[in-house]
Homo-oligomer: A and B are copies of this chain.
Amino acid sequence: MKALMISADNFEDTELLVPYYRLREEGMEVDIASMKRGKIKGKRGYEVEVTKALEDVNPDEYDVLILPGGKAPETVRKQDRALEIVKHFLASDKPVSAICHGPQILISAGLMKGRRATCYHSVAPELQAAGALYEDKEVVVDGRLVTARQPSDLPAFMRETMKLIRMHGTLKHSAA
């Protein structure tokens, strides 16, 4: 099982690192994609290695896509290649999980019309304008799309993400 995360500088540190460590705990390989290789830095100063430039990502290789928040999605949503990748995941009905400002990328890809979803409170008007059915809840699951509002929602966000991965992936459970 392989996961893809797409982010950029000024990511919300826990929204990238908590899912990243959680998926690796489960034994998954995780690629972090951004505009170019090298390091990206979170708002709180944590640095992570970009393992794939967006242009080198082959979305067929991955089972799940995670979109962390912070200020990174503002940059990522301007990248055509990022939007193509996100469309691939939704079109092939693979699990997609976006938190905080992460759903902005789904909005730019034109994928939110008629979908039940949540996001960071300040993003809600934009989500509604894109035709989504916004709910102010810690986590919203609509088919294989998981959305959450903020770092304090990470437990529910990862609980629902892991359920979808177990249901739709080939993940062997790690419990002893």
Interface residues of A (CB under 8 A from B): 13-14, 17-18, 21-22, 24-25, 44-46, 154-156, 158-159, 162-163, 166-167, 173-176
Would you give the shortest CB distance from A105 to chain B, in whole angstroms?
A: 22
Q: In chain B, what residue has the closest Cβ to A28?
A: B155
B175 pairs with A25, CB closer than 8 A: no
26 A–B contacts from the bound complex (CB under 8 Å): A13-B13, A13-B14, A13-B44, A14-B17, A14-B21, A14-B46, A17-B18, A18-B18, A18-B21, A21-B154, A21-B155, A22-B22, A22-B155, A22-B158, A25-B154, A25-B158, A25-B159, A44-B44, A159-B174, A162-B174, A162-B175, A163-B174, A163-B176, A166-B176, A167-B176, A173-B175
Q: What's the Cα separation between A158 and B44 when bound, in Å?
A: 23
CB-CB < 8 A to A174: which residues of B? 159, 162-163
Assembly stoichiometry (copies)? 2
Q: What's the Cα separation between A163 and B162 when bound, in Å?
A: 17
Q: What's the Cα separation between A175 and B172 when bound, in Å?
A: 12
| Closest 9 pairs (CB-CB, A-B) | A24-B155, A44-B44, A25-B155, A163-B176, A21-B154, A25-B159, A25-B158, A21-B155, A18-B21
CB-CB < 8 A to A18: which residues of B? 17-18, 21-22
Given contacts A159-B174, A163-B175, 15 further A-B contacts (CB under 8 A): A13-B13, A13-B44, A14-B21, A17-B18, A18-B18, A18-B22, A21-B155, A24-B155, A25-B156, A25-B158, A44-B44, A44-B45, A162-B174, A162-B175, A163-B174
Within 8 Å by CB of A166, from B46, B155, B175, lies B175
